[in-house]
Amino acid sequence: MAAILVHGGAGRWAPQDHVLAVAGVARAASVGWRVLAAGGSALDAAVEAVVALEDDPHFNAGTGSVLNAAGEVEMDASVMAGDSLAAGGVACIQHVRNPVLVARRVMQATDCVLLAGPAATAFAREQGFAEHDPGLPRDLRRAAGVGTVGAVALDAEGRLAAATSTGGRTGKRPGRVGDSAIPGAGNFANAQAAVSATGWGEMMLRYVTARDVAGRIASGAPPQRALRDALDDMARRFGEPIGAIALDAQGNLGVVHGTEAMPHAWRRSGEPGVTAHFAAGRIPA
């Protein structure tokens, strides 16, 4: 069994962007699936799917990232490999095209899990990532009402992985770090589950959302129920709607959000193509 599941952020989307958002997540899932079909790892697939979303200006990550209070782009991203618990992340990184690729390089090339701010950008230059202005003119910025992007994957060897990337909250305080760069909060993978979350990062940091969902799955809950129970508990505690996706080692999917929509798409072994939706509906077993 192999599977890829991606999301494009939980939130409110402008009506004219609905079709484009669904097309974007479908394209990202197709990119991830091609990696898996060619024998690539779950980590390869999750990362490449997120790269596709970072390069799409309709999503709040990479090129489409929203502006902070200073009118600048600061981005967070992380990756995690479930078989080894290896993880890497960047926070408040600037002037790179694909923060998720830098996050993976942190995991592979350093003894660190997280690099932040100017040091993260300097590391990207050391590693050969070119200078890139991910910003768009304010009138072209399409993702102002939505959150993070992410992907979870299962490869033919049974390995799980997760990758998550964001431009953060519109108008955020410079230097603010959300959940997307933090293993266990907005992004997590182990041998039983892979999870990527989206929404109000301060809530996910306090709840350790992705790790909580993975723990529920490890205790026997299907991904859909694990997500629903965790997000319902968060809603009771914090009153802020978020969203998340999850995948277990058997290829079972979970997609839950308390927002208007969360564009998402998936493909699994034995299915004829990618399935994509604007908002969560019935998730197949």
Could you tell me if 10 and 242 are in contact, meaning their C-beta atoms sit under 8 angstroms apart? yes
Q: How far is CA 156 from CA 45, 49, 87, 159, 256, in A?
A: 12, 17, 21, 7, 25
Strand partners, 264: 7, 277
Crossing angle of the two packed helices 223-238 and 209-218, in degrees rounded to 10: 140
How far is the C-alpha of 259 from the C-alpha of 247, rounded, in Å?
A: 20
Q: How far apart are CA 54 and CA 28, in angstroms?
A: 10
Is 209 considered catalytic here? no
The 10 Å Cβ neighbour count of residue 229 is: 15
Q: Which member of 63, 110, 121, 148 is catalytic?
A: 148
Active-site positions? Answer: 148
